[in-house]
Amino acid sequence: MLTFCKTIQKITNKILQQNVRWLSVTASRVAPKSYQGDGKTTLNILNTEADLGLMINGISSVGFRLNNDMTVLGPMVIFPRSVLAWNVGSIDDITPETLSLFTVLEPKLDIIVLGVGDKLEDYSFYKKILPFMKKHRLNLEVLPTEQACATFNFLNSEGRYVAGALLPPQTLQTTDDDLLKTKLRYQNLYELD
């Protein structure tokens, strides 16, 4: 009976290894949380909480603005506590060599969020990087940069060990809120004392 149970366990483990995508979670960074409120709804603006690490407040076609008031020009790689310039010019420059930084990190990343600029029409770059990502067991999420920034911020606020590799988009959709903020900045800039 004992050998039968061990055999079943080995088969189950083999099936799980082949068919389940494991997502490693760093135990020291993820803590159980529960609702401790008094029945009122509370709202926290994540980008203003310094203890959550770096987050992306804004993007433009030339770079990114972070929650610590730092501006990064051009493509970047962002981690919860640091940011690096990323030497890629376009999506065609994303190769295993440009992603090799992520293979040497310890502890291993939970996920890499790749922001590819504007909406992706051609997925041919996957052929170059997918075998590399599988070989090194790196989890990858490929999104347009606007969505990738939001995804990075959310995962970072959850305490995940996440990295963002982001290309600035060539075009951005402006909202009414963007136009209002631009007008207010313009008024403040040219306001007479």
Condensed to tens digits (0 to 9), the pLDDT of residues 159-192 reads: 999 999 999 999 877 778 878 888 888 888 777 6
Pairing of strands 56-59, 76-78: unpaired
DSSP H or E run through 15: helix 2-19
CATH 3.40.710.10 fits 55-189, yes or no: no
Count of residues making up the chain: 193
Give 14-71 pLDDT, tens digit per residue: 654 555 444 444 444 445 555 565 666 655 555 556 567 899 998 988 999 998 989 9
Pairing of strands 71-73, 63-66: antiparallel
CA 111 – CA 161 distance, rounded (Å): 7
Is 104 in a helix, a strand, or coil? Answer: coil
**Domain residue ranges of the chain, discontinuous segments joined by +:** 55-189
At 102, the amino acid letter reads F
